[in-house]
Amino acid sequence: MASSYIILIFLLLGYCVAAGSENCLISLNSAINPIADPTSWTSPSGRFAFGFYQEGGGFKVGIWMVHKSQNTTVWTANRDDLPVSSNAALELTHDGRLVLKISPGETQLIANSSESASCAAMDDSGNFILYNQHSEVIWQSFNFPTDTLLGGQSIPTGAGLYSSVSGTNHSTGRFLLSMQSDGNIVLYPKHTEPSGIDAYWASNTCCYLQPVHFHLYLNFTGALLLIDEQGQSELISDPDTSSVNHNSTIYRLILDSGGLLQMYSHRFSENGDDVVSLMRMIPNNKCRVKGLCGFNSYCTMEDEEPLCRCFPGTDYVDSTNQFSGCETIFKEEWCSNAKENLSSSTFKSIDHVYWVDPPYFQVTMEVADCDKSCLEDCDCEVALYDFDQGTCMKQKLPLMYAWTVPEKSFRALFKVGVERIEAANTNNSDSQLRVFKYKKIVESGNFGLTEQLTLRPFSYRELKRATNGFKEELGKGSFGAVYKGTLYRGKRAVAVKRLEKLVNEGEGEFRAEMRVIGATNHRHLVRLLGFCAEASKRLLVYEFMSNGSLADLLFRSERHPDWNERMRIALEIARGILYLHEECDTPIIHCDIKPQNILMDDFWTVKISDFGLAKLLMPDQTKTFTVIRGTRGYMAPEWHKGTPISVKTDVYSYGIMLLEIVFCRRHMDVNASTPEEIVLSSWAYRHFRDGELDKLVLGEEVDKRLLEKLVKVSLWCIQDEPAFRPSMKSVVMMLDGTTEISVPPCPTAAATV
């Protein structure tokens, strides 16, 4: 069975080449625009079109399935860019480039290929293809899926589908389907974890000890298959047995804006009419999509649609958006001790509601005892009681991923302060009320930490017990050591960082990490779970990274990552740094980007760590002065010149590290066989200049174009002048192929060594 699917893939590839010679109807110098015919290029059957479609007050470039009523968008080029005006034009130029001419002097590349196209075709499969003069495919939209997978299309390891914002806005939305290197296919909210409490569906087709290359493939019968590099296949979902003629049926898998993975069949008749059927939906309950409702709200179904409702004592953050989450309004210090709590609190309950946040207290007891225990506990803001098990679970806000479970005997009892209720019904001044947007203020010590954090405070005793007396050391840094521990009765492994150096310096690192990583949330940043600030003790609790650091993988492992893995790792790190530089409320300079600070989780996903040296910029700042910090070999020249640092400082460090990723060796190697090999940047530039990069990777099967691209990006990043270095956004665009890379000049470091 497996071999038949591999043969099918090769047949499809052959079909594409054949289609090129037969249906390559879009010639060089062809152009379309948004409002004058033709506004699109159609496939031979007319079922698909490529061109301009309207979004908001402008136009985007994409592919859609043509219907008599309303078209279905299946792919969007550069989906997060703003719509263009009606003056734009899409052109297959005389030199074989597919470009979007936005305005005079402003051109954007749609298809990034190292070869020039001789023609193009909109295929009946929904694939837009560029061919060279030999009728070979040099670029195809199927290789760059957005939120949709069509019959004949596949997703490789490390890629996935990102939902759209809505049915009318095809920018990147909130949910992700990921094809992981361990063979598992996972659904989860963007900027969270593909495992544990964040994932809301997994194919459970894992787990491989080492990364393996897979493809998630949707065939022309509607079957969804997982195919590994040996040609072995596993059926994820069954083929469509109801369709009499698969040639007249198109299958479409979409991750919709609500996080649902849905399979549709489109059956076309000879007169062009089509019947659309929903074949399957994952998950089958819309409320089981984690992240659909925000913090402090729960999902319930009404008229077969999900509705987000606020917990008692809270209200919507944005009254116009039910998915925005809810905030708690209360008077300052309404609970200062247990006795006062008894007279100043009341309960509001919700039946059949459940969430996945672990409680800080879980004991078997009677329901009345559970209520009393929570009422007398200032830390308890809600008690979840399981009548089936007789279990009492006490928790703090904020809570996430909550939904109603009608078939379960759960009851959530929310403790609401009397003053809070009174305050909500009066027009008190701002000095009397404040909005508690998940703010946890550290009260034990003068830290000045009033940032919006969602961290759990731990006692020193808890963390000493969790680490078995700080027994297993994972690593040691300039400010202290990191130990392995377990929480929640051994169910969750954590890394506990104990700051041990002089109080002032350790305090500085503690504050920096709390400020920076406590206020961030991204898939490629290590997650800070909690902290301890007890007397002079300062500890930070992180998620545990089972596969060590990138340094271990590059310099100590017997098996080096293959080229696709190196590319994935480089791109994931770049996206994490881009988040710090441009997507946080306050721009963050990491200041210590190096392989030792890049960790790998259970699924070999990149996690940037160690923010103790990080520097926050003010909203109007682009540069800042600070004391020299970082690691020798990765530090940008401006550190030594006494000039201001900027986000370009991290870009330099990334460039050095990118060379190390490419060649799986350290930047400085004093034991190198020849003097010219000691400094990697100098050695790499010399061979790049001479067109001999392949000599640096002897014995490896390598795509020379990929090797050259990675080296060019790294050489641009390590330019001596910060102004010459690209931004991290440009780095990401160069790596993922959405922008061309010019030849970099010689970096000063490479020229002087």
Distance between CA 731 and CA 710 in Å, rounded? 10
Q: In a 10 Å sphere around its CB, with 0-12 CB exposed, 13-18 middle and 19+ buried, how is residue 623 labelled?
A: middle
Q: What is the pLDDT of residue 8?
A: 40
Q: Which residues pair with 416 in a beta bridge?
A: 346
The tens digit of pLDDT for each residue in 584-603 reads: 777 888 888 999 999 998 88
Q: What is the mean pLDDT of residues 255-260?
A: 95
**Taking residues 180-197, what's their average pLDDT?**
78
Across 687-703, average pLDDT: 84
Polymer length in residues for the chain: 753
Neighbours of 460 (CB within 10 A): 15
Residue 13 above 60 pLDDT?
no
Residue 324: DSSP 8-state: G
- Return the SS3 of 223: coil
Q: Is the pLDDT assigned to residue 274 strictly greater than 90?
A: no
Cβ burial of 246 (10 Å; 0-12, 13-18, 19+) is middle
Q: What is the pLDDT of residue 603?
A: 80
Of the listed ranges 35-44, 265-274, 291-300, the one predicted with least confidence: 265-274
For 475-490, write each residue's pLDDT tens digit. Answer: 876 567 899 998 866 6
Alpha carbon distance 730, 471 (integer Å): 44
**Distant-in-sequence, close-in-space partners of 69: CB < 8 Å, separation ≥ 6:** none
Name the CA dihedral angle for 301, 307, 310, 311, rounded to a multiple of 10 degrees. 10
Distances (CA, A) of 507 to 500, 524, 613: 10, 26, 12
**What H or E segment, with its residue span, contains residue 631?**
none
Residue 372 assigned as binding residue: no
**563-578 helix and 728-735 helix, angle to the nearest 10 degrees:** 150
d(CA 532, CA 698): 50
Judge contact between 24 and 103, C-beta under 8 A: no
Query: What is residue 435's predicted lDDT score, i.e. its pLDDT?
Result: 29
Q: What is the CA radius of gyration of the chain?
A: 28
Q: What is the pLDDT of residues 106-153, one digit of tens each?
A: 888 898 888 899 999 999 999 999 999 999 999 999 999 999 999 999
Q: 3-class DSSP state for residue 521?
A: coil
pLDDT at 753: 38
Catalytic residues: 592
Average pLDDT estimate for 19-42? 84
Give the per-residue pLDDT at 359: 85
pLDDT class of 245 with cuts at 50, 70, 90? low
Residue 332 tokens, joined:
């300052």
pLDDT-derived band at 420, boundaries 50, 70, 90: very low
Write down the pLDDT at residue 421: 41
**Does the pLDDT of residue 92 top 90, yes or no?**
yes
Question: Residue 366 corresponds to which tokens in the numbers above?
Answer: 């009677």
- The answer to which of 115-119, 692-696, 725-729 has the lowest mean pLDDT is 692-696
Tens-place pLDDT, residues 353-406: 998 888 888 899 999 999 988 888 877 889 999 999 999 999 887 888 999 998
Does the pLDDT value for residue 6 go beyond 80?
Answer: no
Q: What is the mean pLDDT of the chain?
A: 81
Report percent pLDDT > 70 for the chain. 80
Strand partners, 588: 616
Q: How confident is the model at residue 676 (pLDDT cuts 50, 70, 90)?
A: confident
Q: How far apart are CA 637 and CA 749, in angstroms?
A: 9
Mean pLDDT on 491-501: 80
C-alpha–C-alpha distance, residues 740 and 48, integer Å: 28
The answer, yes or no, to whether residue 635 has pLDDT greater than 80, is yes
pTM above 0.85, yes or no: no
Give me the torsion for CA of 134, 135, 136, 138, rounded to 10°: 100
Six-digit token string for 564 = 């696709």
Poorest-confidence range of 5-9, 162-166, 547-551? 5-9
3-state SS class at 502: coil
Place 49 in a pLDDT band, splitting at 50, 70 and 90. Answer: very high
For 206-227, write each residue's pLDDT tens digit: 665 455 678 899 998 888 988 8
End-to-end CA distance of the chain: 57
Scanning 642-747, the segments in alpha helix (DSSP H) are 647-663, 680-689, 704-717, 728-735
Domains of the chain: 1-144 (2.90.10.10), 145-283 (2.90.10.10), 288-435 (no CATH), 445-543 (3.30.200.20), 550-752 (1.10.510.10)
How far apart CA 14 and CA 9 sit, in angstroms, is: 9
521 closest CA partner among 433, 462, 584: 584
Could you list the beta-strand ranges (E) of 257-407: 261-268, 274-282, 297-302, 305-310, 314-316, 326-331, 345-351, 353-354, 361-364, 382-386, 391-395, 402-404
